[in-house]
Amino acid sequence: MTEGNFVDYIKLHLKSGNGGKGSAHLRREKYIPKGGPDGGDGGRGGHVIFKANKDLWTLFHLKFKRHLKATHGEHGSKQTSTGADGEDQYVEVPLGTVIRDTNTNEVIKEMTEHEEEYIAVEGGMGGKGNAHFKSSTNQTPRFAQPGIPGEEKDITLELKLLADVGLVGFPNAGKSTLLSVITAAKPKIANYEFTTLKPNLGIVEYRNYKTFVVADIPGIIEGAAEGKGLGYRFLRHIERNSTLLFLIPADAPSVKEQYEILLDELRRYNPELLDKSRVIAISKGDLLDEELKAELAQELEDAFGNIPHVFISSIAQQGLMELKDLLWKTLNEDKAAD
C-alpha cells in the first residue's frame, strides 16, 4: 500500500435503523365471525457494528464514507406476521483501532482481537402489534405500538498500530533503511529529513522461523510538543509497543543529548511510554573505526549502563543479527514479566 493510502484518523456519523411499527390489523375472513386482532410486531432496526479484521492496517476504506446508516425494520402485518429486522451495517477496522465519542473524547472501545465485534449504535426495537393487547376487557384493541427510533452518534476512529518494537529517532537517523534490511517492508528512503511521512510496519524473521513486528514512525525533533516537524501526530502508534528501539546515528554531535531529547519528547507526549523497555542502536556504525567505536562504547556504558546498546550498519549489514538477538531477548523478558 502506498504512503498516501495510509489513513489513521477518521470521523464518522453513525445512525442505526428505526424499529418497524406494530400492526393494528383486525382479522376479517369469511365464515369467521369476530375474528379479533391479528396485527404482528414490527422488526428491529439495524445496528451499526464494528468488526476487527487482522488483514487490514489502515482506515483508508472509510475515508470517503463519513455517514454510515443501517436500514429500518419493516412494519408488522396481518396474521401476526412480524416485520423483517433491518440489515445491520458492519464496519471492518484494523486491529488497534480506538473508538472515541467525538463530542466528549471518551474512549468507548478498543478493537484488539480478530473478528471482535462491537455494536456502536443499536437499532430501535419494533413496536408490538395489537394482538399483544387483547384481553378479557379489551377484546378488540385498535392500537399498536410505534417502533422506537434508532440512535445517532458522532465517533472518531484512531488507529494505533500493533507492533512489538517501535523505532524512535530523529529524522534521517536511518530508521527506514534499517526497516528495509531486517524486514521485507519497502519504505521510502532518501537523503533528506522527513522522508517517512506515514508509519510503516515490517515483520522481522528471526531464528527457527520465529518472527516479531517492528513499526517505523516519522522522525521526532526537539519541539515536537509545540508542533514542530510532524508534531506528535504519529506517536500513538508506539503506545502499544512493548519495546522502544532508539536509533541514533554515529555521526550525531552527542549521542547522549539526542537520546535525552527524544526521551523528553516522549515524556511530554505520554509519561507512560517511559515505562517501556528500551534498546539503543547506534546506526551508521561503518563510519567508526575500532578506536572510535571503543571510545563511544565506553561513553554509552557510562551514560546508559542499564540500557542495552549495539552498533549497527544497515548499509554494511553489520550488527544486525546482534540487534535481533537483543530485541528478541528484551521482548521475551517483557512477556515473562507480564
pLDDT, tens only, 6-25: 677 899 999 999 999 999 98
Architecture of the CATH domain 9-159 = Distorted Sandwich (2.70)
Which of 13-17, 135-139, 216-220, 234-238 is predicted most confidently? 13-17
- Residues 275-319 pLDDT 10s: 889 999 988 888 777 888 888 888 888 877 788 888 898 888 888
User: Per DSSP, which regions of 175-259 are E strands?
Assistant: 200-205, 211-216, 243-249
Beta strands 152-159 and 97-101: pairing type?
A: antiparallel
The answer on whether 21 is annotated among ligand-binding residues is no
- pLDDT class for 118, splitting at 50, 70, 90? very high
The answer on whether 234 is annotated among ligand-binding residues is no
- Rounded Cα distance between 326 and 244, Å, is 12
The answer on whether 135 is annotated among ligand-binding residues is no
- Rounded Cα distance between 228 and 220, Å, is 9
Architecture of the CATH domain 165-334 = 3-Layer(aba) Sandwich (3.40)
pLDDT at position 26 over 70: yes
183, with CB counted inside 10 A (0-12, 13-18, 19+), is buried
The answer on whether 314 is annotated among ligand-binding residues is yes
The answer on whether 164 is annotated among ligand-binding residues is no
The answer on whether 197 is annotated among ligand-binding residues is yes
- Residues 228-241 pLDDT 10s: 544 455 676 677 78
The answer on whether 221 is annotated among ligand-binding residues is no
The answer on whether 217 is annotated among ligand-binding residues is yes
The answer on whether 46 is annotated among ligand-binding residues is no
The answer on whether 254 is annotated among ligand-binding residues is no
The answer on whether 170 is annotated among ligand-binding residues is yes
Q: Quick one: pLDDT at residue 159?
A: 85
The answer on whether 194 is annotated among ligand-binding residues is yes
Identical fold for domains 9-159 and 165-334, yes or no, is no
The answer on whether 73 is annotated among ligand-binding residues is no
Question: Dihedral of CA 110/111/117/120: which sign?
Answer: positive
The answer on whether 177 is annotated among ligand-binding residues is no
Q: In the chain, what are the domain boundaries?
A: 9-159, 165-334
The answer on whether 219 is annotated among ligand-binding residues is yes
The answer on whether 35 is annotated among ligand-binding residues is no
Q: Quick one: pLDDT at residue 202?
A: 79
**Residue found under cell 528512503:** 189
The answer on whether 169 is annotated among ligand-binding residues is yes
Whole-angstrom CA distances from 42 to 47, 84, 109, 147, 276 are: 15, 7, 30, 7, 53
Percent of the chain whose predicted confidence (pLDDT) is above 70: 85
The answer on whether 172 is annotated among ligand-binding residues is yes
* Of the candidate ranges 216-220, 223-227, 264-268, 272-276, the one whose mean pLDDT is the lowest: 223-227
Closest CA to 185 of 201, 165, 168: 201
- Rounded Cα distance between 303 and 300, Å, is 5
